[in-house]
Amino acid sequence: MSTIAENIANIRAQMADAAKKAGRDPSEILLCAATKMNDADRVKEAVAAGVDCCGENRVQEIQAKRPLGAYTGKPLHFIGHLQTNKVKYLVGVVDLIESVDRLELLECIEKQAEKVGVVQNILFEVNIGAEESKSGFTKEEAAALAARMREFPHVALKGLMAIPPVSEFPGENCRYFAEMRNLFVDIKAKKYDNVSMECL
């Protein structure tokens, strides 16, 4: 069985190869370890092996592992679907909330961030394939809300995320990635307040 460090080294090599083929600098691409259902010691192994950040999708796991120093030395991202009643446990605790998928959630994050005196970094989740089974903004909603970010002074929009539809054939879903890139570039060009498009 491969070790965590060996797995990470293998993924890094694949990332570097893919970046080279796409004409990209591998150092621009972050490797975020989805650490759900792994104990604090395994997360520490991943951190020591060089992941760029840790991603958790359950508030309870963050609350259990964070006091044990699981994420020490790396940014912590929340990558799961977020209910408004859990916002208070994440704002000011995680470095980035990746899954802001509706206006109600953004408003709740703003309210909590103001209360605790922080600026919370977020990504907008875009339902790029317009799938009924997935949450997220439409492209149009994301663009319109980015233009309103000055109304949320305690929240900083750092970019966009999406989980495109699964493709039956290799390359079939490339158009969704291209659409996300175009949306990212368009929002970035507008130079809105509280928006610094750094992450896609």
- CB pairs under 8 A, 24+ apart, for 93-96? 93/62, 93/66, 94/56, 94/62, 95/53, 95/121, 96/53, 96/121, 96/122, 96/123, 96/158, 96/199
Give the model's confidence band at 178: pLDDT under 50 very low, under 70 low, under 90 confident, else very high. very high
Distance CA 167, CA 164 (A): 9
pLDDT digits (tens, 9 = 90+) for 74-121: 999 999 999 999 999 999 999 999 999 999 999 999 999 999 999 999
Q: What SS3 string covers the chain?
A: CCCHHHHHHHHHHHHHHHHHHCCCCHHHCCCEEECCCCCHHHHHHHHHCCCCEEEECCHHHHHHHHHHCCCCCCCEEECCCCCHHHHHHCCCCCCEEEEECCHHHHHHHHHHHHHHCCCEEEEEEECCCCCCCCCCECHHHHHHHHCCHHHCCCEEEEEEECCCCCCCCCCCCHHHHHHHHHHHHHHHHHCCCCEEEEEC
Q: Mean pLDDT across the chain, nearest whole number?
A: 96
pLDDT at 168: 87
191, 115 Cβ separation under 8 angstroms: no
Give the model's confidence band at 2: pLDDT under 50 very low, under 70 low, under 90 confident, else very high. confident
The vertex-165 CA angle with 146 and 54, nearest 5°, equals 65
* pTM recorded for the entire structure: 0.94
Distance CA 159, CA 32 (A): 15
Give the model's confidence band at 127: pLDDT under 50 very low, under 70 low, under 90 confident, else very high. very high
pLDDT at 56: 98
pLDDT at 1: 59
